[in-house]
């Protein structure tokens, strides 16, 4: 079974409304596959919270990361 690698804008918006999302969903929101997502977690670039042995990413941080990317792209233009 192939891993899903994209999200629609609607799915992304719905996911970002939740306080936490699973690691896989966080990667999809950021446009990353699973390996780069876990590398970013290991390096501390993406923070996680562990609940009952499952890792989640705070969506507040994802929104900050997305806004930072947009801000950097606009400055470069």
Structural domain containing residue 28: 9-69
CATH code (residue 31) = 1.10.10
Dist CA 48 CA 72 (whole Å): 24
Predicted confidence (pLDDT) per residue in 1-59, tens digit:
445 668 899 999 999 999 999 999 999 999 999 999 999 999 999 999 999 999 999 99
Find the distance separating the first CA and the last CA of the chain, reported in whole Å.
40
Does pTM top 0.85 for this prediction?
A: no
In a domain, 30, yes or no: yes
In a domain, 16, yes or no: yes
In a domain, 65, yes or no: yes
Q: What would the two tokens of residue 30 be?
A: 């950021």
In a domain, 77, yes or no: no
């Amino acid at each position: 079974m192939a891993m899903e690698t994209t999200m629609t804008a609607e799915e992304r918006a719905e996911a970002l409304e939740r306080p936490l999302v699973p690691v896989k969903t966080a990667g999809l929101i950021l446009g990353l596959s699973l390996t780069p997502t876990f590398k970013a977690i290991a390096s501390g670039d993406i923070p996680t919270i562990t609940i009952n042995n499952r890792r989640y990413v705070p969506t507040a941080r994802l929104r900050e990361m997305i806004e930072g990317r947009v801000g950097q792209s606009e400055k470069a233009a």
